Amino acid sequence: MHSFGYRANALLTFAVTILAFICAIASFSDNFSNQTPSAQIQILNINWFQKQPHGNDEVSLTLNITADLQSLFTWNTKQVFAFVAAEYETSKNALNQVSLWDAIIPEKEHAKFWIQISNKYRFIDQGHNLRGKDFNLTLHWHVMPKTGKMFADKIVMSGYRLPDAYR
């Protein structure tokens, strides 16, 4: 502590160290928030269901997505990344997950939404297994914090089925 430079260095080092601690505690405090998200997805229409020239099936759907993700936002949340995936089983793969739609929600006010949209990303199978296939539509979300650990969770909605023949 004998010179200006020495004291300034000591102060800055200590300040940055306890800044790291305070960010870790802020991230830890996220564990105590009560999260109750809800969502519903409805398939309004199957636009077309075809077999591509190389042998893969492709479906185009119109989805109606309703969700309330407001309770996921804490003081330490920067944004929530949400996406809808179709999940099904085939003889080749135990689990196929195809992402149909995603969105970045930057603020709590935008987290309660209703959207009617055709799938943003193409629903293409590896093969031609989709005829008469039962599948789940799962809404996944990633809560991205300002500092610290990212949390991810999902809601699984089952009971959807593709038609038995191509359209």
Partner 1 sequence: MDWQGQKLAEQLMQILLLIAVVVAFVVGYTTASFRTMMLIYAGGVVLTSLITVPNWPLFNRHPLKWLDPSEAEKHPKPQAVVVSSKKKFSKKLVSVLKIIVSLISLNQMTTFCY
13 binds partner 1 (CB under 8 A): no
Over the window 90 to 129, marking each residue x when it contacts partner 1 by CB under 8 A and - when it does not, the resulting string is: ----------------------------------------
User: Which of 41, 61, 67, 76 contacts partner 1 by CB under 8 A?
Assistant: 76
Q: Does 26 participate in binding partner 1 (rule CB under 8 A)?
A: yes
CA dihedral 88, 89, 95, 97 (to 10 degrees): -30
Count of C-beta atoms within a 10 Å radius of residue 143: 25
Q: Pairing state of beta strands 57-68 and 38-51? A: antiparallel
Task: Figure out which of the listed residues 92, 120, 146, 161 binds partner 1, where binding follows CB under 8 A.
Answer: 146
Applying CB under 8 A, which part among 14-22, 39-47, 81-89, 136-144 lies near partner 1?
14-22
Whole-number Å distance between alpha carbons of 125 and 49: 11
Q: Between β-strands 123-124 and 57-68, what pairing exists: parallel, antiparallel or unpaired?
A: antiparallel
One residue of 24, 29, 126, 156 binding partner 1 per CB under 8 A? 29
Which of 21, 54, 159, 165: binder of partner 1 (CB under 8 A)? 21
Rounded to an integer, what distance in angstroms lies between the CA atom of residue 128 and that of residue 125?
7
Which CB atom, from 78 or from 122, has the smaller least distance to partner 1?
78
At 116, list the tokens: 């009617």
Contact indicator for 118, 59 with CB cutoff of 8 Å: no
**Positions that interact with partner 1 (CB under 8 A):** 1-2, 4, 7-8, 10-11, 14-15, 18-19, 21-22, 25-26, 29, 74-76, 146
